[in-house]
Amino acid sequence: MKRNGILNSHISKILSDLGHTDQIAIADAGLPVPDGVPKIDLALKLGTPSFREVLNVIAEDMVIEKVIIASEIHEGNPQTLAYLNEKFDTQIIDDSQNHEQFKALTQQVKAVIRTGEATPYANCILQSGVHFG
C-alpha cells in the first residue's frame, strides 16, 4: 500500500502517464463526459467529494502549466473562481471560451475525474507541464 499521495489507482495511473501538454478534466457532478473519454467517478453524493478537495489533491501531484475554465464561472460561480485565482497563478488561467466550447475541449482530455460538486461551472481542464528545464 502507498504511504502517501493519491491512493486512487486510476488517478495515480493517469497522472503518471501524462506527458507535457496532456490534459485531464476535474468535473462537477453534472458535466457530460464525451464518449470514449475515460471517466473516473469519485462522486458519492451531491457535494462529496468537492471540486476543491479533489483539485487540491491532484495539484499536489501534478505539474500544471495551464488551467482552462469556462467564462460563465465569473457570474455563475465567483466563489470557485476566487479559489482558482488563489490556488494558481492567474497567468496560467484561461477563461477565453464559453461553457459549450469548454465541453468540446473535454473530448481531447486523457480522463475526466467526476466529483460530487453541485455548484455551477465548477469544472477545469488541467494541462500538464514539466518539472525540469
pLDDT tens-place string over residues 90-128: 899 999 999 999 999 999 999 999 999 999 999 999 999
Which residues of the chain register pLDDT less than 70? 133
> Binding site for substrate, residues?
28, 99, 121-123
Q: In the chain, helix, strand, coil percent, each to 5?
A: 35, 25, 40
Is residue 20 annotated as a catalytic residue, yes or no?
A: yes
Question: How many angstroms separate the CA atoms of 74 and 15, rounded?
Answer: 28
Is the CATH code 3.30.200.20 the one for domain 9-128? no
Residue-level pLDDT at 4: 87
> Binding site, residues?
28, 99, 121-123
Question: How many angstroms separate the CA atoms of 48 and 34, rounded?
Answer: 22
